[in-house]
Every structure is written in structure tokens, then in C-alpha cells.
Amino acid sequence: MPVLTREEAQTRARILDVHRYAIDLDLTTGDDTFDSTTVIEFTALAAGDTFVELKPAVLRGATLDGQPLDPATLDDNRLPLTGLSEGRHELRVDTAMRYSRTGEGMHRFTDPTDGETYTYTQLFLDDVQRVIAAFDQPDLKAVFDLTVTAPDHWTVLANGVTERREDGRWKAATTPRISTYLVAVAAGPWHSVRTEHAGLPFGIHCRRSLAPHLDADAAEILDVTRRCFDRYHEKFTEPYPFDSYDQAFVPEFNAGAMENPGLVTFRDEFVFRSAVTVAERQTRAMVIAHEMAHMWFGDLVTLKWWDDIWLNESFAEYMGYQTINEATARYPDTWIGYGIARKSWGYDADQRPSTHAVAPDPEAVPDTASALLNFDGISYAKGASALRQLVAWMGEKEFLAGINNHFARHRFGNATLADFIDNLATATDRDVHAWADAWLRTTGIDTLTADVTGEPGRWTLALHRDGSRPHRATVGEVAVVDADGGAVG
């Protein structure tokens, strides 16, 4: 199966402007496949050829501007669109798609406890084509309209508010412009706890067999969610950009969580079935904060290509820990936990032969397959540590001003690392570009060593650096006394 190359994506982005997807899913057709019909409205900015991606069980038919396309031309996952004229077009694709049992595309799960079935999407990177036909790259954003046929006792969740119509089908509110990999559906007989905050509907959801456990923790989960939501609105001038905020704890999830706009999915191990430690609750709270940060950085403003995936994750990692530290009195020491559990992950990755720069050279990510090679402790932990150092180096007020410039300039669009650094530079007189070159384009660790001389009451501290990156450090003094109260260090 061919993967999408960066060069192909750039070519397609130059010749296409995608406006709207109308998606119709039928989840009542059996255990193995579901029906998927996609109508894509787009403009060809120049005459020529291109292709749309899909991975169907059966391609029943496709039309371009009402004219049939030959299903036999589907080559692996690419349906060619040849001889496009300049101007507006409508592509319609009718398929049967396979359910997944491994978390890619539309995952289907039957709960052994009660026999109830649940489906949900995980479309990260290039798996939307397992559910619908799509121009599957992050910089071809569009609005999405979704209709779903589901069993009578199911509830359907999506990126926007959903309602069940008189004909029994579920209709989701039209999304703002988002990337294809962020489209989300979760359908099944969910147990739901719903509330409202800041004028928006909030909900948490899990399979019915876990209902008592979710109910036991619902107040805590929703309290963390509200506190993070409010804290982000203190930090960001751009309001929350979607019409609702649902969090679904889904079974057999193949990741920790996914930042789908308006419908975040989490592995349902976060619905605790027994007594757990405070550290485990803190981790859950941080993941909630991490995914919410993505609503702005990742969903509102999205990378152009996968070489910048580190920036999505590093920003959310930094902002998640910082926001939980600020917003919840129950977890005031999150950065200590980060230093123990996460930062060491980055240190380890950065000292192996496989280390790479936090921000890889674009040429090092030539296609979607290679993008996953950089999805590691450097992309998350080292990148978050670098951003934390950046905040200390340029000042939090200036950092947030630059971030807000970034959101304002690129809202519902796409941006690169260069755009991010340029926007930070508008808020400070420090050389942010040089900082980025030193911290983000290099590999390996710097070492800071403290040299203390003198005697109690008259200590002298010298801080030595082995490395070339700029640092700003806060130094604290701790008095150590013996049993008789005498100072010993």
C-alpha cells in the first residue's frame, strides 16, 4: 500500500481547496462491515490529476460531478481523479468499510460482561481512509457534516453536538474547518454523565458495565475538566473553538488518549475499577489537561506536515503539567512527578544511537510512515522540557503573548515551526530563532553542575554548564541541621 509522501501532499495542497465533507455512516449492517457514503465538495485551483484515499472492503461506486468513475481504477488505497478542470467539483464515493479489531479506523468491541457492542474511531495520521474517502493530509482542512444510522438503543457522539432525528438517524452539528485525522465518531449504548459549563454541554461517557466506576469518579473528572477549561481561558485569548466537550472512555484503545475536537477519547483503564494511588489520579488529570490543550494547539491551529507533530505533543505535554499544577490544589507537585516519570524518558531516548533533534529536518520526514519514527520520548518529554526552559528564558507573559498571536494568525488553519517561532518573536526582544536552532535542531544533553564552597552562612555557589544551549535556572538554598539544631550544610 503506498503511503503519502510530503512532496505529494504539497502538490495536492497547491491544486485543491477542500470545502466540505458530507458523511453518511450506517452501523447496522453487520459485525464485519459498515456502510460509508462520502460527498466531498472541493475546488481545483488548476487543471490536472490527483487522487483521493480510501481503504474499502467494497467500493460500490463513485461519481465525479455526476459522472461515474471506474471502481477498477482503485489502486491499493488511491482512487485517481484524472482530467480535473479548474473550478468546483463534487465527488461521491459509496463503500462498505471493515470494522477494526486493532484500533485503526472504526474499532468495534463487544463487552464480554453484558454482550453490548461499541464502536469508535481512531483516525490519527492516515487512518481516516478506513472510514471514509478523503484527501487525507492535515493541511487540507474542511467542514464536516455527519449522519449516522445506529441501533435503536445506541447513542452517537461526534465532534459536534448530536441529536436523534425523527427518522431515527443521528445528525451531528457541522464542524468548523478541521483536519481529516481529527474526525471522530463514538457509538454504542454509552453510560453518560452530562453537565454544562461556560454555556457549553460537557459529558463523560463509558460502556455500561463500567457505569458504577465512572459514577464514583465523575465529580473528580468533571472538576478537573472545568478547572482546566477555565485556566486555559485565562491563558488564551481565543475562546474554546468548538460547540461541546465530550470525553469518552473507550475499550481496547490503542493509545493513551486522542485529541479529537469536541470528542476526546481515552483508554477506559482511566475509569478506575479499584483503589488507586494519588499519582495515578494525577496522571489521569494531566492527560485530561494535555488533551484539552490540543483543542487550541493541534485542532484550532494544526501542523502542515508530520515533521511538526512533536510541537503538538510537546506543547500539550508542557501545558498539561503546568495547568494541572496551577488549576488543581489537589495536585500541586506535578512537575516533580514529571521529572521522575517523564523527563527520564526523554533523557534515555536522547542518549541512544537513535536520538534525533526535537524538531527534525523536514527532509527526515518524507512520508507518513517515517513520521511515526519520531513519536517518542524526545517528541514528548524532551520537547516539553525545552518549552519549559523557553518559558523561563523569555518569560511566561511573553510566551503566552506569542502563543496568542499564533492562534489569532492561524485559527482554523495550518502552521509550521517557523510560524510558531515568528509569532513568539513578536512578543520578546530575545533572539527566539537562535534559541530554536540551539535547542530544537540539535541532539544530546547539556549538563549543569553545581559547585558549592565555603562554610555555613557563607556559601558560594558556582553553576557550570557542559554544552552550548542558553539556560535560565532558579537556584534555591536549603538549610540542613543536625539533631541539636546546628547547621551542617
Answer for the pair 181, 283: CB distance below 8 angstroms, yes or no: no
Tell me the DSSP string of 126-190.
TTGGGTS-B--STTS-BEEEEEEE--TT-EEEESS-EEE-TTS-EEEPPP-SB-GGG--EEEES-
Give the alpha-carbon dihedral of 190, 191, 195, 196, to 10 degrees. -10
Sign for the pseudo-dihedral over CA of 156, 162, 166, 167: negative
- Rounded Cα gap, residues 235 and 411, in angstroms: 16
User: For strand 170-172 and strand 162-164, is the pairing parallel, antiparallel, or unpaired?
Assistant: antiparallel
CA angle 476, 479, 480 (to 5 degrees): 135
Candidate list 291, 313, 317, 398, residue with the active-site label? 291
Lookup result for grid cell 488507586: 276
Give the alpha-carbon dihedral of 429, 433, 435, 436, to 10 degrees. 140
Q: Quote the cell numbers at residue 426.
A: 513578536
- Rounded Cα gap, residues 307 and 392, in angstroms: 25
User: For strand 48-53 and strand 78-84, is the pairing parallel, antiparallel, or unpaired?
Assistant: antiparallel
Catalytic status, residue 291: yes
CA distances from 351 to 108, 316, 357, 382 (A): 40, 24, 12, 12
Q: Is 477 left (phi over 0), alpha (psi -120 to 50) or beta?
A: beta
Query: Which residues are catalytically annotated?
Result: 291
